[in-house]
Amino acid sequence: MDIKRVIQEHGWTLERLAAEMTASKGEAKGEKGISHAAVSQIINGNPTLDRLKEIASIIGISVSELVADSETKTTIMCPKCGASITIKAE
């Protein structure tokens, strides 16, 4: 599960995501915008389901797509010509 990679693959930066997320603590609770450091802590730590739902909603994907394991890629060699062939399972 590489949440940061998925975020970036959908054209988002952590800074842009931070600006769209809502604060969950302190005086700013419920207000839009958190720090880049807070987003990093969320995605690199143990994010709550609510935070995963929020991130997925902001970038326009499902939670399952956000947390899915990386695609499986296998490289084989063509027995006829020796070329490398990459097979990608999604």
Encode 34-89 in three state secondary structure: CCHHHHHHHHHCCCCHHHHHHHHHHHCCCHHHHHCCCCEEEEEECCCCCCEEEEEE
Domains and CATH numbers, the chain: 3-89 (1.10.260)
pTM value? 0.70
Which residue has better confidence, 37 or 25?
Answer: 37
List the structure tokens of 11: 């054209």
Q: Is the pLDDT of residue 7 over 60?
A: yes
CB 65 within 8 A of CB 58: no
* Per-residue model confidence (pLDDT) at position 24: 77
Q: Which residue has the higher pLDDT, 65 or 31?
A: 65
Q: Measure Cα distances from 37 to 41, 42, 59 in Å.
A: 6, 9, 19
On whether the CB atoms of residues 19 and 45 are closer than 8 A, the answer is no
